[in-house]
Amino acid sequence: MVQPVAAYGSDVRPVSFGAPVTLPPWTGQVGVGRVEVTQAEPQTAQAIVSTLTAHGVDAVAVTAPSGTAQAVILTEGLSAADPAARHWAALAHARTARTPGARILLLQSTAPQAHAAISGLPGLSRTLQKEWPDTSVATWSFAAPDAPTRAHHILTALGTTLGDAIITADGHASQTHVGASLAPPVTNAATAPAIWLVTGGARGVTATCAIELARRTGGTFLLAGRSALSRWPQGIARTADLKTLRASLAHNAVASGQKVKPADIDRAARAALAGQEIEATLSALAAAGAAAHYVQLDLSDTAALAPAIDSIQGQHGAITGLVHGAGVLADKLAMEKTEAEVRKVFGPKVDGLLALLGAINISQLTHIGLFSSASALFGNTGQADYAMANECLNQLARQLSAELPHARVKSYNWGPWDGGMVDAGLAAHFAQQGIALIDQADGARIFADQLLDGDRAIVELLVGDEWSGE
């Protein structure tokens, strides 16, 4: 008898683009006022200014917004700068352009392009829509690769109130659409890859997901993270609580007559807890029937990744499954954020992934699972950089899925989990907004089900509640 599959505890929904709608032709009657266009991508900027001027709009190319224009078009998302620099420049220029009632339009491309050129600016516009209610901010993503066509599409869209959208090569607009809840698929682990690289997989919620994957597929798991596999300090009782461990370490230091600074105690305690967590993940993977290895690797150190991957593949064979869970937060309002904070967030999540994709023979990958966030889809106050970086993952997943027709590629826009980077303070914040936390076992099941057996055509998923933010 076939057993019915239990429904998921959290909602799992496909994210796609809605039906394209026709934009009304430019009538010339819309009072758009003065339009400034930044020259980060000069060809598109010039084409926009020429097209708008030819149609009677007061448009001018600028190196930076003046802060007085009614509409500002930012071409930073189309520039050839590295991803963090490009996204930081868009954020910085949006700040300069901000004035009550202003309209800020962020441009980027969805045409097939080099992986490093992919942008996540919808993460910025969605966040700014929450942080700056007095300003209209939208991202227009162009499928047309050439500047004159993009300029023509801008002219048309400018006469509308179009928000975040993809503008197709023939000038239609399509907006993000979250579909109906998915039922769990019938599971069939026979297609599992042999060698998984799981970034961030030794700790946090990615570890929970890796353990579930190992239960289904066995094989070899290579877990990468920054932390050292530190030993537990001698003579100290095991605990998972930072405060308790700090107190024990301090007590031992005093008892043995050592003078140790509180900062050193804190560092030692965190290192011991990280080592303990890594050990526990390795043991759980082994218990699940997989061969498990830990590789100490900082994904932000992109120059070190290619030699590290060469060495890993030399020892274990070609990587056939990639799970990318490494990520950090640097939350702060967009008006206060610094370039260093944007780089900190982009380092492991975007730069690290791009470097890995460059170092691995991606044609051998049969499964790719990327840990994105619902903040990319909905924006989130204080998380402009994190939302942009996660939206880069969503866009990259779509392109990888198109490039690798034999592979299953999933980008999970996770809502908040009950664990990982969601500490007690964040959990209370989400509870206040009525957003349920994703249960660890449920999240891990969703992850493995969808990566191994989900519909290949569904690349982007929302897991958890929809939210509107503050």
HSE of 388, CA atoms in CB hemisphere, 13 A:
34
Q: How far is the CB of 438 from ligand NAP (least distance, A)?
A: 7
Q: How far is the CB of 443 from ligand NAP (least distance, A)?
A: 9
Tokens of 295: 């590789």
217/380 with CB nearer ligand NAP? 380
Angle between helices 262-287 and 242-255 (to 10 degrees): 120
- Distance, in Å, from the CA atom of 185 to the CA atom of 329, rounded to the nearest integer, reads 32
Q: How far is the CB of 174 from ligand NAP (least distance, A)?
A: 25
Cα–chain center distance at 68: 33
81/328 with CB nearer ligand NAP? 328
- Distance, in Å, from the CA atom of 353 to the CA atom of 302, rounded to the nearest integer, reads 9
95/270 with CB nearer ligand NAP? 270
Tokens of 134: 């007095």
Written as one letter, the residue type at 401 is S
Q: How far is the CB of 352 from ligand NAP (least distance, A)?
A: 6
237/424 with CB nearer ligand NAP? 424
Find the Cα–Cα–Cα–Cα dihedral 246, 247, 253, 259, rounded to 10°: 80
247/330 with CB nearer ligand NAP? 330
154/284 with CB nearer ligand NAP? 284
183/421 with CB nearer ligand NAP? 421
C-beta atoms surrounding 257 within 10 Å? 6
Distances (CA, A) of 93 to 37, 88, 97, 105, 362: 11, 9, 6, 11, 35
Answer yes or no: are the C-beta atoms of 6 and 187 closer than 8 Å: no
Element housing 155 (H / E) = helix 147-158
Q: By CB under 6 A, name the binding residues for ligand NAP.
A: 199-200, 202-206, 224-227, 274, 297-300, 325-328, 347-348, 371, 373, 414, 416-417, 420-422
Q: How far is the CB of 236 from ligand NAP (least distance, A)?
A: 21
Q: How far is the CB of 384 from ligand NAP (least distance, A)?
A: 14
Q: What contacts 357, CB < 8 A, 6 or more positions away?
A: 115, 400
Q: How far is the CB of 224 from ligand NAP (least distance, A)?
A: 6
